[in-house]
Each structure stands twice: as structure tokens, then as C-alpha cells.
Structure 1
């Protein structure tokens, strides 16, 4: 009994099939022995508040199977434990498109809900399919179900689409009844794993009375005349910001996720955040991003007894950073506001793992063989294949390995009018 009490308990709330999928994935995780997943499935979305009420006092965190379920629960009332959800990802879209192709679905004439337009555009760019005939309806609010059904039915009735892709079982069931060909997007295993890890992290932080949840919002500083979704340089900077944040996040056991156009949210504990800010004396991330990416960022740190409170405090702190003079601001659980100046050194508490020596040799070999072209330090799979004398597939594995070791950054794919895999450039990082 004591062994069970020591495990982090996570309530899984959502439709039966998705709850079963999350629990099954959780059982196969390396950390399965340290957590317990409690199923709370429902047949209709209206049952979510009741299922959630039965978990009160029994779980350390709640994991919803999607953003809609999370929003419905938030709309119904307060959640007294940290909560998160399995996000809708581009990986789920790839899987649905692949299944659709096996059934003769034309990916160039479909309607898609829940996935943001930027992710759809990126996914279609990756597979070399135009998006002129693809219609997207993002998830704007808890009452999206009826709107999604009308969105798909109208387009199909007008002959603009041949099928619909949806994340919601309710929508899929109704469209099938109305004669609209439909495929349901479900989260891939990798996305579910990350969501379970996030829920476990939030649950562990919430259980320890002396450990508050800490959330950091890190945003690219505004640049005059830039920032739109079509700004290639801004998209590149956003990608580089994400990779720079991951370095510190891994060292502190944090989770990094996209929040809005140019902002990322880092979820961790107050203790971990304290270690990389020298006891909340200096701003985290700012100097690392400046050194890695060459741009300034604004950071807002929030502490709280719940994820919602910490998130609200972080948003308040970010607003102060955007309007104030300090590199970052901290708002604690009592509402106190503290300015944090940028550090001129990396905190000594953070221990960084050196890159693998073999990866360093490969990076150095590529730089040497680039010769006069080494100034740009940008390569792609074809270039690496030629320089190392390997097949393009092997070259792509080499580049991925360099990214994982922190010796290269993956840049946005280069758009092309030709069919096939788009060219993906990488910037080598010199030592």
C-alpha cells in the first residue's frame, strides 16, 4: 500500500478509446513503476465534469486526452490539481493522411479541424502537396464541436472537399451519419508519451507541499516590420529559440512547449528554476539565447500553488518584461513582482553534457571539407552525402545525430515547386 501511495497518480479523462490508448502507452514507459494512471472515460463530452469530480482528492494531476476536453473541464469549474492535455500535433495529421492515402483519399481536397494552419502548411510542404484546396478550422473555444460539424458538412455539400479529417469522435460519428467521408486523427505514441511525462512532472511538483509549480514564458523581442507567419527569418528564429531553451530545460528536468506566435512555455518546479537563476537573482535563458541565436528575448516567470496560478503569474510577469527595463520579471504566489537582470555568465549549478566525440569529429570533418563554403556553415543531406561519400539516407541520419548532440540546428525546409521531399538545410555549430 505504501508503495502505491509513493507513486504519482494521474487521472486520464476523455473518450473511451483515447483514454485506453493513453493508459496503454503509459504502461510501457520506463517510468511506469513510478506512476499510476487512473482511467476516467466518458461516452459524451457532457460527462466530463462529473468524471472529473470523482477524481478530486484521488489524483496528483489530470491528463485530458485533448484540448477540447481540457477546455470543457476548465469552463465547468476549478481543477484543484495540476492539469494538462494531449496536444493535437502535426504527427497525428501525417498519420491520418497516410491512412487516407491507403483508402484513396485526395489530400489536396479535404477539410481539417483542430490543427492550426501553420502546422498544416508545414506538413503539406513536407510531403510536397499544395494547400489551395485544403480548408482548416482551428480549435478556438470549448463550443467548437457544432461549428466543426457545420464547417465540414458545408464544404462537402458545396463540392469543395472529398473528405474530412477531425480529432473528435463526436464529429466523426455525426459526419458519417450524414454521409460525409471522414477520417479521425488520433495522437501518435510519441505525443502521448510527452503528455504523460508532463502530467507526471506537474503531479510530482503539486504533491510536494514545499515545491511550487514554476512556469516561464519566453518570447522573442518584437522586431519592427517583422513577426508575421510568412516571415522566413522570424520562423527560423522561433525554431532556434526552441532549441536553445531545450538545453537548459533538459538540465533542469523541464518541459518546453509552444504557446503562441513567438512564445514558448517552460514548465518546471520552483527549485529547478531557482538553481538556474542563482536563487532568483538573474534572468534565466536570456543570455543563452543571446549567445546561441543572437537575438534578445523577454521572459516572465510565475510561481503558484497550481499550474493555472503559475501560468497567470507568468503572463503578468511577461507583460512587465515587455514594458519594463529588466530582462525578465518574476511574479510569485503572493503576487510580489521582482525584476531579474540578465546574467553575464552561465549559472554554475547547471552541468552540461559534452557532445559525443564521434559527432564532434564528423562536424569538424564537414567544416574542413566545406573549405571556402564553410563561412555559411549551412548544409543539407545532399551536401553531406557528397562530402562524406555516403547515401542521402545515411546523411540525414548523420545530420539528425548532430542536432541531438547540439552540433547543428535544423532550419525551416526550403519551399520548392518540384514534387518530392523538400530540402531541409542545417546550420553547423562550430566549437
Structure 2
């Protein structure tokens, strides 16, 4: 109880918004320290960090439910605890988690080398992807042929971590095990094996909390979501073949330009390396950056100011993980088009391509017609027995397509612009307030060439 009381003071003077911190107590203590550092930098921020640490996973749900009605967002110490909570179905607010980034691996390797004389060439590492480990070793110019990895894919994969490390340690193939899971560290240590836990850096923890604050703001605004933009600089022929100096200069210029643009909407920018950047903002910020999802952000500026092509992926979601996954799905699609576009993904089956300049208002392009026709077909498929003109509202569309009301409203606007829906006179709401907007769908207006096969 004393420990909880000591942790609860983080941000207690600013109670307008609350973020719950969940996970093992040692991880939650680190998050509380990060929360205090955030508030110390800006004491006027209206944020309160509420700890919900547990001693074992059996307590996790109970600790969450004690705070559930008092928080606007949640943070978990890593992907495993986040996934377990999601699978158990008790997460009731937008959630983020602390990323097991390359910085955590660098920090652990340095700590092991300095304090324990760790042989970096003979270790086993769980949770982290092989690619990230090989990249880290290449960066520090240490051979990685004797390094064994088992990445995290889902909570079930974490159950195999102990059995992964144990035979390698017994045989002497490796001299140390590196794990991100506290229970694995405790088991191996109890059996007398050398083991170290990979811990996120304070900066990484603060980044997760800052993301949660953005998510929390979204829960207080109607239709608000977290939005992420993945931006990739595309190297062009002759210049790309030069030394890395040009690449570094170009990356710095793009980073500076993105910072200037992001500052206008309160977005945060992170450099992901190799000419790739990430931006985190709210849906309102995304709306401003894209002129209501009408054109691709940054693409024209980069071409005019720097002479560089960019590819942009835009993702939204109720969690940072969903938004990031959607953003990178959009980025992959934009890269297939060799950039100069942004592709918006919100978890539905459709993708919206945003061109570098605002589209003409006279008529919908053929691509827009095709997308609108596909959306209309999906809506009608949910009502197979309809034998009369189908009338829907925003809630009907969002429920049918499993998207947010804001996205449903945007899709209805696309249908109207494509001539596939007709707005009806507003109907007064029985409970008062804003009139209910309804639309009559016009499937007979679908151009034959856009019909699904």
C-alpha cells in the first residue's frame, strides 16, 4: 500500500486527464519516474499518471479494473502485456505500450560489457527481431554469427523463451541470456544461469507515455483517434549512388521540414533511420495536414523545397499499435507507386490515395469512382434482403463497415460526390439535439466498368 501511495503522487496536481500505467511493479515504477520527468518539464500539463502494478499476471485484470473508470488511456510495459490484456478483453480505453527498441539493446549490451565483462559474440536474445539485432551488431562493428535470437510474435511465443535459452546456456554455446520477460529472468537466475533483462531506456518510456497522452486527449473529443504518418525518403538514381554524405544531408533536410510542418498541428516527429520518419498526431492534426484528407502532406513541399520524392503512409486507430500498423501498410502501398502520394489506411478493406495536389472538384476521378462503388457494394452486402431503396445514416455505415463514425461520414461524402448516394432532408432527432442526416443509396448508378467481378 505504501508503494502504491508513493507512486500515486506522479502528476497529482494536474488531474484533468488520467493515464493508467500497468504491468509488473518494477516496470510501473520506471513508468512513474518517466511520468514525473514529463511533468517536471511542463508542470502545467493537465495529466495524471495512475499506477496499476501487479506482482503476477493473475492480478493484472483486477489492477486494471480498479482504475478503468478513472483513466482516459493506458500504457503497458511491452507488447506481451499489451497483447495479453487485449486478448483477455478488459482493455476499455485506447492503449499504448513501451517499445523494445534498438536503444534498449544497445543499453543492455553496454551495461553487460562494462559491469560483467559480457562476451557480446556469444549470447542468446529473446523478443527482439533478428533484423534489429543484426543491425545493432553491424552498427557497433561486432560479429553476430554466435548470437542466437528468438523474436516475440504473440504471448504464446513468450512461453518458449526459457526453453530457448536453457540448452544454449547448458551446452556453453552462449555465455549469457538476454530476455525482456521478468519471469524468464527469475527462472533462469534461480537455476544458476547468467541472465540479464533488456530494459527500455527512459527516453523510450517517456515516448510511450507521451503517445498515451495523445490517445487520452482523443477519448475526450468526439470522433478523435490517434493518427500516425510514416514518411520515407526515396533515393534517386545518380545521387543515391554517391557517398553516404548526400543521404545524410537529404535526411537532415527532410527532418527539418517535417519538424516545421508538424509544429503547426502539435505533432511529434521521430527519425526511424535510413531516410524514414514517423509522425504522431491526433485526427484533428491529420485533418489539418491533409486539408480534410484531400491531398498528400509533405510531398509537394519536399519536391519544391528540396527536390526530393517522398512516400507517405497514413494510419489511424484506437491504439498506437493499430495506427502504426495501418500507417506502414499505407507506406508500403505508397512505395509500390514510387512515392509522390500518400495512402490512408484505417483498418478497413479500402485504401484512400491522396495525390500531391488537391483534386479537381468538377468530377470524381475514375479511381475515386471505383473506390466509392466498392464501398457501396460492401454496405449493400450487409443488407442482402433489402427490396426497396436503402436509406442509411452515419451510424449504419460505420457499423456495417466496422469503422469509426468519422470515417463513415467521410465514406458517405465520397458516395455523394461520386453520385452513388443522395442526401435526404435532415430528420429531427426524437431526443432533441443535432438533426439526423440520412442518405439514400443508389446502386443502379454504379458504372458497369467498376462493378466487382
- What is the TM-score of this pair, normalised by structure 2? 0.62
For 2:111 and 2:330, the matched residues in 1 are separated by 44
2:227, 2:283 within 8 Å by CA — same for their partners in 1? yes
1:16 corresponds to which residue? 25
Q: Structure 2 matches for 1:314-393, cutoff 5 A?
A: 327-330=341-344, 338-343=352-357
Q: Deviations over 1:87-115 (max 9, x none)?
A: 11222223222322222221221111223
For 2:128 and 2:304, the matched residues in 1 are separated by 33
Following TM superposition, by how much is the alpha carbon of 1:182 offset from its aligned partner in structure 2, in angstroms?
0.6
For 1:222 and 1:80, the matched residues in 2 are separated by 43
For 2:68 and 2:195, the matched residues in 1 are separated by 36
Q: Deviations over 1:55-77 (max 9, x none)?
A: 32211111111121112112222
1:305, 1:333 within 8 Å by CA — same for their partners in 2? no
For 1:78 and 1:261, the matched residues in 2 are separated by 38
2:19, 2:49 within 8 Å by CA — same for their partners in 1? yes
1:82, 1:202 within 8 Å by CA — same for their partners in 2? yes
Q: Structure 2 matches for 1:100-115, cutoff 5 A?
A: 100-101=112-113, 102-115=115-128
Q: Give the greater-gyration-radius structure (CA).
A: 2
For 1:46 and 1:155, the matched residues in 2 are separated by 30
1:384 corresponds to which residue? none
1:182 to 187, 190, 195: 195
1:51 corresponds to which residue? 63
For 1:22 and 1:147, the matched residues in 2 are separated by 27
Q: Describe the shift of the 1:84–1:262 C-alpha distance in structure 2 as closer, same or farther (beyond 3 A).
A: farther
2:216 corresponds to which residue? 203
For 2:143 and 2:324, the matched residues in 1 are separated by 38
> What CA RMSD, in Å, does the superposition of the two structures yield over aligned residues?
4.0
2:42 to 31, 42, 47: 31
Q: Structure 2 matches for 1:92-171, cutoff 5 A?
A: 92-101=104-113, 102-171=115-184
2:14, 2:47 within 8 Å by CA — same for their partners in 1? no
For 1:319 and 1:78, the matched residues in 2 are separated by 32
Q: Describe the shift of the 1:342–1:139 C-alpha distance in structure 2 as closer, same or farther (beyond 3 A).
A: same
Q: Mind listing any 5+ residue stretches in structure 1 that lack a counterpart?
A: 225-231, 345-431
1:81 to 60, 75, 93: 93
Q: Describe the shift of the 1:80–1:306 C-alpha distance in structure 2 as closer, same or farther (beyond 3 A).
A: farther
1:64, 1:85 within 8 Å by CA — same for their partners in 2? yes
1:114, 1:138 within 8 Å by CA — same for their partners in 2? yes
For 1:138 and 1:242, the matched residues in 2 are separated by 30
1:300, 1:318 within 8 Å by CA — same for their partners in 2? yes
Following TM superposition, by how much is the alpha carbon of 1:175 offset from its aligned partner in structure 2, in angstroms?
0.8
Following TM superposition, by how much is the alpha carbon of 1:42 offset from its aligned partner in structure 2, in angstroms?
1.4
Deviates more, 1:242-251 or 1:190-199: 242-251
For 1:321 and 1:44, the matched residues in 2 are separated by 43
For 2:19 and 2:324, the matched residues in 1 are separated by 20
Relative contact order (C-alpha < 8 Å, sep 6+): which is higher?
1
For 2:340 and 2:142, the matched residues in 1 are separated by 45
Q: Deviations over 1:19-65 (max 9, x none)?
A: 01110221122135521111111122343333333332211111111
1:198, 1:255 within 8 Å by CA — same for their partners in 2? no
1:414 corresponds to which residue? none
Q: Mind listing any 5+ residue stretches in structure 2 that lack a counterpart?
A: 1-11, 238-243, 359-453
* SS across alignment from 2:158: helix
For 1:52 and 1:248, the matched residues in 2 are separated by 37
Following TM superposition, by how much is the alpha carbon of 1:222 offset from its aligned partner in structure 2, in angstroms?
11
